[in-house]
């Protein structure tokens, strides 16, 4: 007799329901979110035929958390069901639209009973791949936080401190650079910046890590800060300066976090056996490769063919046809992290691969806009990545873009 388990999770407790293959409710209970609750759950499963060779599958509405991690550690199949899909299934069992935690656990168990083949279990990624996913996603979040903090600070400086923006307008990273952050911490207002001497500026630049051209840069900054600029009233300027220091601390913390997490993600990624294959593709470095591996994992049974991977990344278009209406559109339901990395990957591949550049140019000549052409190139590169990982082969330009090589030879 097959048994299916559904768990409606919450912060402090979880509701559990077990049903058999004909839909009969076998057991129902509420467990706590701790080790005792997990022991109670495993005991309940064992009472209904759970074994190490044939574990009972579990459906739950989340793919993360301690409970999910412990259940995956037991070797059983865990299905993360989208809450929106659960709400649609709920109407199958009640037309009154009633809702309760216990009823949702029963609905989750019945989803596996009726539509097990329509849902995929969580992948069986290695421990190293899961660690890389934690670090790469945290680093990506830190980069997004850094961008947000930079935009807030830049918007504030436009209100009262144009000299700081002009001083670092042509430099790499702008006010996110270590030199700009060091000077801004020492001089958060225009009067304080105008009082800085070249000696103080040289000391700040050296403290920020600059090693070459310190005297020239200090002289340039000294001249910029002493120009005539539009100014706010003195008291308003001081208030803006206090707000600037607060936003500066946020930006500085985001920059430090992004750099530290990037180093940790790269270090872990380079220990993975697939690292050399992933970085052999044009446009993929250690950090972007870590982001790609974090989202696709190292369970090769997860994506049975390149089409599944492309749909997951959102690079493959979606077709909507009804009657005489036929539309091909960009896919919006996708892994947003992988799609964001794919944009960087495709852009970097334009200069790293002649075939990728030719492919992009063909799409542009055919009428695609820049984003559409890059998405099409990302779609092509994902197919190459799937092939390389499946066959454990390094990327080869002549195989990936044979049409370009033939045209170049002619």
Mean pLDDT, residues 14-20 taken together: 95
pTM of the model: 0.87
Report residue 349 as tokens: 């591949």
State the residue for tokens 């270090």. 267
Report residue 292 as tokens: 């790609």
> Using an 8 Å Cβ cutoff, are 194 and 271 in contact?
no
Which one has a higher pLDDT value, 98 or 36? 36
How are beta strands 3-9 and 58-60 bridged, if at all? parallel
Distances, alpha carbon 291 to alpha carbons 50, 94, 129, 265, 267, in Å: 36, 42, 11, 9, 13
- Please choose, from the candidates 230, 375, 269, the residue with its C-alpha nearest in 3D space to the C-alpha of residue 317: 375
The mean of the pLDDT values for the chain is 92
Other CB atoms within 10 Å distance of the CB of residue 69: 11
d(CA 402, CA 410): 12
Report residue 58 as tokens: 């579990």
pLDDT at 407: 54
pLDDT at 328: 85
What are the percentages of helix, strand and coil residues in the chain, rounded to 5? 60, 10, 30
DSSP string, 177-243: SHHHHHHHHH--SHHHHHT--HHHHHHHHHHTT--SSHHHHHHHHHHHHTS------HHHHHHHHHH
pLDDT at 173: 87
- Please choose, from the candidates 122, 374, 132, the residue with its C-alpha nearest in 3D space to the C-alpha of residue 273: 132
d(CA 295, CA 338): 6
Which one has a higher pLDDT value, 73 or 404? 73
State the residue for tokens 């799937």. 386
pLDDT at 92: 83
């Amino acid at each position: 007799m097959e048994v299916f388990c559904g768990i409606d999770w919450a912060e402090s407790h979880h509701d559990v329901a077990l049903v058999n293959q004909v839909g009969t409710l076998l057991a129902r209970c509420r467990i706590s979110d701790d080790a005792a609750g997990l022991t109670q759950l495993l005991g309940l499963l064992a009472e209904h035929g759970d074994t190490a060779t044939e574990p009972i599958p579990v459906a739950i509405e989340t793919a993360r958390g301690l409970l999910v991690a412990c259940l995956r550690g037991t070797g059983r199949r865990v299905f993360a069901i989208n809450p929106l899909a659960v709400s649609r299934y709920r109407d199958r069992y009640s037309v009154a639209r009633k809702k309760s935690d216990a009823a949702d656990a029963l609905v989750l168990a019945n989803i596996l009973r009726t539509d097990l083949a329509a849902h995929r279990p969580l992948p069986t990624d290695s421990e190293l791949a899961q660690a890389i996913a934690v670090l790469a996603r945290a680093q990506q979040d830190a980069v997004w936080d850094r961008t947000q903090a930079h935009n807030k600070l830049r918007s504030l400086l436009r209100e009262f401190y144009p000299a700081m923006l002009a001083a670092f307008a042509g430099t790499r990273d702008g006010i996110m650079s270590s030199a700009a952050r060091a000077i801004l911490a020492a001089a958060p207002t225009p009067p304080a910046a105008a009082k800085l001497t070249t000696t103080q500026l040289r000391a700040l630049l050296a403290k920020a890590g600059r090693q070459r051209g310190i005297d020239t840069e200090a002289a340039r900054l000294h001249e910029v800060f002493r120009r005539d600029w539009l100014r706010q009233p003195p008291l308003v300027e001081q208030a803006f300066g206090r707000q600037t220091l607060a936003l500066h601390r946020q930006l500085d913390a985001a920059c430090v976090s992004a750099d530290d997490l990037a180093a940790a993600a790269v270090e872990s990624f380079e220990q993975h056996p697939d690292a050399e294959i992933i970085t052999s593709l044009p446009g993929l470095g250690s950090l972007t490769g870590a982001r790609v591996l974090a989202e696709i994992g190292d369970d090769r049974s997860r994506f049975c063919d390149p089409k599944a991977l492309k749909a997951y990344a959102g690079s493959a278009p979606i077709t909507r046809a009804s009657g005489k209406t036929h539309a091909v559109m960009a896919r919006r339901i996708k892994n947003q992290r992988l799609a964001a990395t794919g944009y960087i990957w495709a852009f970097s591949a334009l200069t790293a691969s002649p075939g990728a550049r030719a492919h992009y140019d063909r799409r542009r000549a055919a009428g695609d806009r820049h984003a559409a052409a890059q998405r099409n190139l990302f779609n092509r590169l994902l197919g190459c990545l799937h092939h390389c990982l499946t066959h454990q082969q390094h990327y080869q330009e002549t195989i990936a873009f044979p049409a370009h090589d033939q045209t170049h030879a002619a």
